[in-house]
């Protein structure tokens, strides 16, 4: 007989997950308009008040290249300030339970994070990134892979001495938008390299939506076979082919417990045009249509996990309202379907019921709740030719 219990079929699948939010950094970096500091602080606070405890809030790279994050110190200062602490206290949130991350792709950014830490406003965690495909890595960092690995090794030592955690990202796991197909085994090896040089955790990233569900399941099964501590691994999926939900499910079934997302599924390559001015960003876009760029949606992810009975720690309804507000902030329709259609409510939406069913059933002599003719058998009798052999 078929086994119907999903957890028996996939014994590694968790019943509780952690979802980090990267809206304020990855989500906003792709927008071709500057999001105000006030808005960044507002959404950061509201995501935390909605249940987020792992949040990525800025990029400490050169503001000339990334003007969207020219207010990095203001945002971080607010999150270390007394006003934010008081607002947390009113909601019984311990600020020490919140892990604040800033992206630091190159060593000068890491040095900046350490300086901010010494001032009392630095991040708890920073992030550096390698791609298994070197052309993509060069486009992101401007360095060769061997150069970057040595730089990362130095930076991790600096961060450890300063009391900052370093997340190592592995990208182009399932393919590169520049050079095409890649090998899963290379990403497994890169994961081990990060841990070897002292990274605190690993973000496994599909930065261009290349991943298919079978390959996601295969990769994370390979990872957890060799490095079974699930606390070390974070799944980061971009959505370009509308198969992100399938990738999430495959990662869950493989045993992944940590995920990242953005409100509205925003995100992608840093913008090279902000407000009225061209900016360097990371160079020309390597995609043709911006409608097909972005991460998996936080709102839709929460609804999916919630309806699977997987614990996640968020107030889903509060996040859906936040997603609606984000569409006004971004001034565009974003990618979440849940903010429009809501959750699957057990009590339904009776306001959409058509009048007349009750009197029609009474006229037909049917009982309330009767769904088959009265003279039919209680159970359907399947014709023999359709019975299982």
Query: Cα separations (Å) of 212 from 29, 95, 242?
Result: 25, 37, 11
CA distance 156 to 159: 5
Residue 207's pLDDT is 82
Query: What's the whole-number mean pLDDT along residues 196-211?
Result: 93
In a domain? residue 193: yes
- pLDDT score for 346: 79
pLDDT value at 265 more than 80: yes
At 289, is the pLDDT very low, low, confident or very high (cuts 50, 70, 90)?
confident
380 inside domain: no
206-247 residue pLDDT tens: 988 889 999 999 999 999 999 999 999 999 999 888 888 999
pLDDT at 269: 86
State mean pLDDT over 193-203: 98
**In a domain? residue 353:** no
Mean pLDDT taken over the chain? 95
Q: What is the pLDDT of residues 310-361, one digit of tens each?
A: 999 999 999 999 999 999 999 999 999 999 988 887 788 888 899 999 999 9
Bridge partners (DSSP) listed for residue 54: 99
In a domain, 387, yes or no: no
At 15 the pLDDT is 97
109 has pLDDT over 90: yes
Q: What is the average per-residue pLDDT within 240-269?
A: 93
Is residue 117, in this structure, part of any structural domain at all? Answer: yes
pLDDT for res 168: 98
Query: Is the pLDDT confidence value at 292 over 80?
Result: no
Exposed, middle or buried by CB within 10 Å (0-12, 13-18, 19+), for 92?
exposed
Query: How deeply is 62 buried, as exposed, middle or buried, from its count of CB atoms within 10 A (0-12, 13-18, 19+)?
Result: middle
Q: Would the pLDDT of 284 be above 90?
A: no
CATH of residue 203's domain is 3.20.20.70
- What total of structural domains would you count in the chain? 1
> ∠ at Cα 294 (291, 296), nearest 5°?
125
In a domain, 177, yes or no: yes
Whether 84 and 95 have beta carbons less than 8 Å apart is answered as: yes
- Domain holding 326, by residue range, is 14-341
Note the pLDDT tens digit of each residue in 132-168: 999 999 988 999 999 999 999 999 999 999 999 999 9
User: Across the strands, what pairs with 203?
Assistant: 169, 234
Is residue 40 situated within a structural domain? yes
Phi/psi of residue 307, nearest 5 degrees: -75, -15
Please give the pLDDT value at position 139. Answer: 87
Distance of CA 235 to the CA centre of its chain: 7
Is 290 a member of any domain?
yes
pLDDT > 70 in the chain, percent = 100
Strands 273-274 and 258-261: unpaired
Look-up of token digits 């370093």: 166
The model's pTM is 0.93
């Amino acid at each position: 007989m078929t086994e119907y219990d999903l957890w028996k079929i996939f014994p590694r699948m968790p019943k509780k997950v952690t979802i980090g939010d990267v809206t304020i950094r990855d989500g906003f970096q792709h927008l071709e308009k500057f999001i105000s500091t006030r808005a960044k602080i507002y959404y950061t606070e509201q995501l935390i008040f909605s249940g987020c405890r792992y949040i990525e809030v800025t990029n400490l790279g050169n503001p000339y290249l990334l003007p969207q994050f020219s207010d990095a110190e203001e945002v971080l200062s607010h999150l270390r300030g007394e006003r934010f602490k008081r607002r947390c206290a009113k909601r019984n949130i311990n600020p020490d339970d919140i892990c604040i991350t800033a992206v630091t792709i190159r060593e000068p950014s890491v040095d900046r994070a350490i300086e901010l830490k010494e001032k009392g406003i630095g991040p708890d965690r920073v992030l550096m990134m390698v791609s298994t495909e070197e052309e993509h890595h060069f486009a992101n960092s401007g360095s060769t892979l061997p150069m970057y690995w040595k730089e990362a090794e130095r930076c991790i030592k600096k961060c450890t001495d300063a009391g900052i955690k370093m997340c190592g990202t592995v990208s182009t796991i399932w393919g590169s938008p520049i050079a095409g197909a890649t090998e899963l085994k290379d990403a497994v090896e890169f994961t081990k390299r990060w841990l070897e040089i002292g990274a605190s955790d690993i973000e496994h990233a599909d930065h261009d939506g290349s991943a298919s569900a079978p390959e996601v399941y295969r990769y994370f099964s390979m990872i957890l076979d060799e490095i079974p501590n699930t606390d070390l691994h974070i799944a980061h999926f971009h959505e370009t082919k509308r198969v992100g939900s399938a990738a999430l499910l495959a990662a869950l079934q493989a045993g992944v417990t940590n995920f990242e997302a953005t409100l509205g599924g925003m995100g992608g390559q840093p913008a090279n045009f902000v407000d009225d001015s061209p900016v360097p960003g990371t160079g020309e876009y390597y995609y043709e249509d911006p409608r097909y760029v972005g991460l998996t949606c936080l709102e839709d992810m929460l609804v999916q996990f919630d309806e699977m009975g997987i614990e996640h720690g968020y107030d889903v309804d509060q996040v859906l309202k936040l997603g609606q507000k984000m569409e006004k902030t971004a001034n565009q329709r974003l990618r979440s379907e849940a903010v429009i259609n809501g959750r699957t409510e057990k009590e339904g939406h009776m306001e959409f019921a058509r009048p007349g069913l009750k009197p029609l059933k009474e006229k037909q002599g049917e009982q309330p709740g009767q769904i088959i003719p009265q003279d039919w058998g209680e159970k359907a009798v399947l014709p023999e030719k359709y019975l299982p052999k």
